[in-house]
Amino acid sequence: MHNFIMNDAIKEKYSRAPHKPGVYIFYGKRGEHLYIGKARDIKKRLASYIFGEAPSPRIAAMLRNAVELDWIITDNELEALILEANLIRQYKPRYNVELRDDKRYPYIKITNEPFPRLTIARRKSNDGALYFGPYADRTGAVRLMRLIRRLFRIRICKYELPPKRKLRACILFDIGRCLGPCIGACTEEEYARAVDEVVMFLKGKRTELLDRLRAQMEQAADEMRFEEAARLRDTISELSKLLVPQKMDSDLGDRDFVGLAVGGGIGVAMIFRVRQGAMIARQTVPLTVPRKVNVSEALTEFLLRFYSQDPDMPPEILVSDMPTEKEEVERTLSDIRGRKVTIKVPQRGEKYETMKLVLRNAELIHGELIIQKKKVHIPYGVLELERLLNIPRTPNRIEAFDISNFGSDTIVASMVQFVAGRANKQGYRHYKIKTVVGQDDFASMREVVFRRYRRLLDEGKQLPDLILVDGGKGQLSAALQSLDKLGLKGKIPVVAIAKRLDELYLPGKSEPVSLPKDSAAIRLLQRIRDEAHRFAITYSRKSHRRKALALELMEIQGIGQKRAELLLKKFGSIKNIASASIDQIVTETKIPRKIAEKLKSELAKIVD
């Protein structure tokens, strides 16, 4: 085994890994995807991480940061390869692709010109161009663009065509990577045909594209254009390898596959999302299912609730079991979508095999949840809180907010997270208030609650079961306003706790309520409230100290606010800056050497 410590949960999960092909996923502390890989045998591949030779530094770093492991089984390795590519494009795992400052995923763009260009775009624009993607990172998009250029010879230059003056062909034409429209080496019709073929390739229209190229090859051979026929033959050969149809990436069109497993008071809905024949995402939705509710009843409730909030509802939803009141569900979903939605249970063929795969994954995760449920101990205070506040679900995950003012110019907020009644410090966050001028606790609470849950929604992360805010009616109202703005009104219970009397303010109640003084529930809320306050105060003092240090540095000629903040960020303290060499300061901060020398000289006068 490797000499670094691997998370016990991962090692325990590995022991239950299947000897089947599929995709495995490592998750970080915040539930983010760290690494997605494929395997012919999932268990053997995972064993290589745990028992094999020392991994590369990248994989070693990933394993040190991983806290959870999951997998999706497939029918064969090639299917796993396609699924892996789609999931990487969807989630952009940290250790699969290079981290970049720009968080937008790039698109391949075909411009709207007489002779369209192939280029990379960071966002879609309403300019009449065709956009394909997004792709996981620029490197992957560039590689695909190079492949397209080699196979279809579409230009990438920025010339305005047809040209107003005579142009010279570039090297790409000379090496056969461009059709050369800039020098009239092809007609507009010939070039348009090549662009059509690129579009067919990017849309996955395999049969139509290959048939078209074969016809062109035969025509070229009949006309004794043997060099062109040979080029087309090579293109067809390469595309035939690239475009092998698979179950996960075939003619399944636009539809969702929904499999549901229930039992033991728990349900798991597994959704495989297929668009243009390719599986683009997998979603797992745990459910609380009363023990007497059967699969068909649970499926009816799930479909109505899930798709009522889904902006990407497909025209067809394939399910593992027929929901009760099928016609009513179809009618309701059709009204939401604005176009017809049909619900079917596949009976045979490719869709039936895919549904079996979906259901198998749902059952696998359902079994995991049953095991976890038996292991998890929920403290009495959490259960009592659920009962006394009459909230709809057990508040296993509680997030609490506190605002701290250290003078009107230093306003910060804290958010602490408790899971199963215990502090989860990996989930703690602190915030600098950005939009509020002066001391305004209500506006500050509005800002921080909005920022926190907008981010969770954007990233598809888990929302809390209960939100606790430090304060009274005003703070409660501010938090509710932000949740309403995010479309979360009524979806997350919120309670405010006053500092002095430990009274609770609840939505819709004009007067505060008091829990029994000796109850485990009030002690839990007090502990969470006090921890949020401690965390906010600690961060506030740190921010104030750093600001004071920055002001001290700004007394030195050539050091403004940005440079002062950068120096403190890189070195931590004035003493560390003074101890650093001039070369270190220049390298770490890019500050000009003359200013770095001046800085060192001045600090030497005030630092022992």
Mean pLDDT, residues 14-33 taken together: 89
- The distance from CA 366 to its chain's CA centroid, rounded to whole angstroms, is 23
State the pLDDT confidence band at 373, using cuts at 50, 70 and 90.
low
Across 101-105, 214-218, 375-379, the highest mean pLDDT is recorded for 214-218
Q: Is the peptide bond before 379 cis (omega within 30 degrees of 0)?
A: no
Is residue 198 pLDDT above 60, yes or no?
yes
Instruction: Give the residue from 261, 432, 237 showing the smallest Cα distance to 361.
Output: 261
Contact indicator for 366, 261 with CB cutoff of 8 Å = yes
The CATH number, out of the four listed (1.20.1440.230, 1.10.1060.10, 1.10.10.10, 1.10.150.20), of the domain defined by the range 554-606:
1.10.150.20
pLDDT for residue 481? 94
Which helix (H) or strand (E) covers residue 384, if one does? helix 380-389
Q: Which residues pair with 128 in a beta bridge?
A: none
The region, left, alpha or beta by phi > 0 then psi within -120 to 50, assigned to residue 432 is beta
* Separation between Cα atoms, residue 140 and residue 147, nearest integer Å: 11
pLDDT at position 101 is 35
Cβ–Cβ under 8 Å, residues 116 and 109: no
Give whichever of 2-16, 136-150, 465-479, 530-544 has the largest mean pLDDT: 465-479
For residues 549 and 575, the answer to whether their CB atoms sit within 8 Å is no
Q: Which of 167-176, 205-214, 537-546, 557-566 is the most confident on average?
A: 167-176
Q: How many other C-beta atoms can be found within 10 angstroms of the C-beta atom of residue 498? A: 16
What are residue 286's DSSP bridge partners? 268
Asked whether the domain spanning 382-542 has the same topology as the one spanning 249-375, the reply is yes
What are φ and ψ of residue 419, in 5° steps? -120, 125
Q: Is 425 helix (H, G, I), strand (E, B) or coil?
A: helix
pLDDT at position 371: 66
576 vs 352: CA distance, rounded Å: 65
Give the residue ranges of DSSP H helices in 118-225: 138-152, 171-174, 188-202, 206-222
CB 463 within 8 A of CB 449: no
Domain 8-91 has CATH 3.40.50.10090: no
Mean pLDDT in the chain?
A: 80
Domain regions of the chain by residue span:
8-91, 107-247, 249-375, 382-542, 554-606
Q: Looking at the predicted structure, is the pLDDT value of residue 343 above 90?
A: yes
Q: Which residues pair with 418 in a beta bridge?
A: 398, 423
Q: Which amino acid, 202?
A: L
More confident residue, 407 or 295: 295
**Residue 274 — pLDDT band, cuts 50, 70, 90?**
confident
Question: In whole angstroms, what is the distance from residue 408 CA to residue 269 CA?
Answer: 49
User: What stretch of H or E contains 574?
Assistant: helix 574-579
Rg (the chain; Cα; Å): 30
**Residue 359 host element (H or E):** helix 349-375
607 falls in which pLDDT band (50, 70, 90)? low
Q: Is residue 466 scored above 60 in pLDDT?
A: yes
CA distance 241 to 209: 13
pLDDT of amino acid 103: 38
Contact indicator for 420, 378 with CB cutoff of 8 Å: yes
Q: Residue 262 burial by CB count (10 A; 0-12/13-18/19+): exposed, middle or buried?
A: buried
In whole angstroms, give the CA distance from residue 232 to residue 236. Answer: 6
Q: Which residues contact 216 (CB under 8 A, 6 or more apart)?
A: 232
Question: Counting Cβ atoms within 10 Å, is residue 35 exposed (0-12), middle (13-18) or buried (19+)?
Answer: buried
How far, in whole angstroms, is CA 54 from its chain's centroid? Answer: 29
Question: Strand, coil or helix: what is 34?
Answer: strand
In three-state secondary structure terms, 412 is strand
* Architecture, CATH, for domain 382-542: 2-Layer Sandwich (3.30)
Exposure letters 299-315 (e unless 16+ CB within 10 A, then b):
bbbbbbebbeebeebbe
Q: What is the DSSP letter of 112?
A: S
Residues 6+ positions from 366 with CB-CB distance below 8 Å: 261, 262, 263, 266, 267, 268
Q: Are 524 and 379 contacting, i.e. CB atoms less than 8 angstroms apart?
A: yes
Question: What pLDDT shows up at residue 549?
Answer: 56
The closest alpha carbon to 497, from 453, 531, 459, 456, belongs to: 531
Structural contact between residues 268 and 260, judged by C-beta atoms closer than 8 angstroms: yes
Return the pLDDT at 450: 95
Q: Is 348 helix (H, G, I), strand (E, B) or coil?
A: coil
At 179 the three-state DSSP class reads coil
Cα–Cα separations (whole angstroms), residue 584 to 546, 565, 570: 21, 16, 10
Contact residues for 393 (Cβ-Cβ < 8 A; gap 6+): 288, 386, 465
Listed in order, strand segments (DSSP E) in 233-347 are 255-263, 266-275, 278-288, 316-319, 342-344
Architecture of domain 249-375: 2-Layer Sandwich (3.30)
